[in-house]
Structure 1
């Protein structure tokens, strides 16, 4: 999975409705308020009333998710595990957390 696919899968796994998760270019967005998803014909860029970049690599995103799912992370080996959550091993702690959450929801 690419980083973009992981971010989208994680957003869906933690409960964001599919119609409120968008991937645009190299970023994943989640709707955080009232939004209208329209494309400006000339720019090809969506018009968002309120939206937020959702990137699992950002500790501001993945930190609260790890806390909610009570995940323990070994930073040296990038392993994440927790009660009732399938463990995951990856090249970064953030990715290990994301993959553990995605894997436990499937």
Structure 2
């Protein structure tokens, strides 16, 4: 699976990035990441499914959850919005996995496309 992302700061776009998951098995996958403007600078590492799942584990006492409509490059989506101490995360009900949008510390990351390889 290949996920294209847009990173934005307070003053506008910072660049597009790509996350590619491959060589998957029951324990995890290899994750390749690179900036679109520098495709030869690939950072590759092995990640486990448990490790990836832990990125979406939020403290129930400091997190509020709501269901919202979100207009994204993937279309109009129904999302679970998590307002946390670390930022705001929108998880699409129709696109399980990583958040389709995330805002934290003045930065926004938005999924532009998802390709199933």
- Pair in the same fold by TM > 0.5: no
The structure with higher relative contact order (CA 8 Å, sep 6+) is 2
* Structure (1 or 2) with the greater strand fraction: 2
Give the TM-score normalised by the residue count of structure 2. 0.31
Larger helix proportion, structure 1 or 2?
1
